[in-house]
């Protein structure tokens, strides 16, 4: 149901998310990029291209995105000026990257799918690569529009990340859009 929602309500969704301020998280990730000497970034679930554009405008990183909703992929490419592939993480076989950004892009995956997505992400990172991940905190639910959100506690997501081969470097909660969000930065082991 979630992909159908975004295909049907795409323009409304793009408009609503385009102006969200993620500069705190983006700047923290850019600091990690600078400290680690990173040169490449993949934005998974690019959506509007808001974050991709920010990274392109505020760094020397070579940035690309993937997006499973065709309208979003096209919009994000135009908005960010970066290459955005109309693919999901599960069927995209790219080169390797130094950084992977997953801002609210994995919230509809079951715990088993999330583990697989994180394992795939690790396999697509260069050694010692870094990932940013934001997920909803708390208990899973279905919203009024039929979208299922899978939510996690710190202990749950820590366990999944360890299973996928990541070490959490920083973890904190933030609040926005009526939800509590997990924000974490992790490094591949």
What confidence tens digit (pLDDT) does each residue in 172-183 have?
999 988 889 999
pLDDT in tens, 29-57: 999 999 999 999 999 999 999 999 999 99
pLDDT confidence tier of residue 1, bands split at 50, 70 and 90: very low
83 three-class SS: strand
Residue pair 186/161 in contact (Cβ under 8 Å)? The answer is yes
Largest interatomic CA distance in the chain: 43
Structure tokens at 183: 């924000």
pTM: 0.94
Instruction: Enter the DSSP assignment of 125.
Output: E
Question: For residue 115, how many other CB atoms are within 10 A of its CB?
Answer: 16
Question: Where residue 169 falls among pLDDT bands split at 50, 70, 90?
Answer: very high
What is the DSSP pairing of strand 148-149 with strand 141-142? antiparallel
């Amino acid at each position: 149901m979630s992909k159908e929602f975004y295909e049907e309500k795409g323009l409304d969704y793009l408009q609503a998310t385009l102006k969200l301020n993620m500069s705190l998280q983006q700047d923290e990730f850019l600091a990690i990029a600078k400290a680690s000497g990173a040169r490449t970034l993949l934005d998974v679930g690019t959506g509007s291209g808001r974050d991709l554009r920010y990274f392109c405008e505020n760094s020397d990183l070579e940035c690309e995105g993937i997006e499973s909703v065709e309208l979003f992929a096209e919009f994000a490419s135009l908005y960010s000026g970066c290459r955005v592939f109309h693919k999901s993480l599960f069927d995209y076989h790219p080169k390797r990257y130094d950084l992977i950004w997953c801002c609210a892009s994995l919230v509809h995956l079951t715990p088993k799918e999330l583990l697989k997505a994180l394992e795939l992400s690790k396999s697509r990172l260069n050694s010692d690569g870094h990932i940013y991940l934001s997920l909803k905190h708390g208990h899973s639910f279905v919203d009024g529009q039929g979208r299922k959100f899978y939510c996690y506690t710190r202990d749950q997501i820590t366990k999944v990340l360890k299973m996928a081969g990541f070490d959490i470097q920083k973890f904190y909660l933030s609040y926005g859009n009526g939800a509590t969000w997990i924000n974490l930065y992790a490094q591949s082991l």
